Amino acid sequence: TTKTKKEVFNKGVNKSTKPKKEVSNKGVNKSGNEYTAYTDGSYSYENVGETGATVSRYYNTGKGEASYDNSGEGYKFYENQGYRLYQESGKSKNSGNKGAVGIRGTV
């Protein structure tokens, strides 16, 4: 029988070879942030407010990329190899320092 291109492609892809992300450590740091470390080197923090709702989240791939979302203060940033792009929530254009693109800095 003749196989489609998709069938041939899918046969060659072994989805089980992708490493599974598992939690290696979890807890609360001195600042009260909940943290989770994963076996692939990535980690995340969550800051929970007085009501128990998550106020901010930070995720780092462990490979130079990170993201931060602060719903309490209304902004996010994305980082790649030390460059940060800030975005204010609910605004189509960035403004002020939060609008700067490609700032090289230490994190």
At 102, is the pLDDT very low, low, confident or very high (cuts 50, 70, 90)? very low
Tokens at residue 82, please?
Answer: 């030390």
Residue pLDDT, tens place only, 14-59? 555 556 789 999 999 888 889 999 999 999 999 888 887 888 999 9
**What is the C-alpha to C-alpha distance for residues 98 and 68, in angstroms, rounded to an integer?**
13
Q: Which residues contact 57 (CB under 8 A, 6 or more apart)?
A: 44, 45, 46, 47, 67, 68, 69
Q: Say which range, 47-51, 66-70, 81-85, 100-104, has the weakest mean pLDDT.
A: 100-104
Residue with more model confidence, 69 or 16 = 69
**What is the C-alpha to C-alpha distance for residues 7 and 25, in angstroms, rounded to an integer?**
40
| CA dihedral sign, ordered 43, 44, 45, 48 | negative
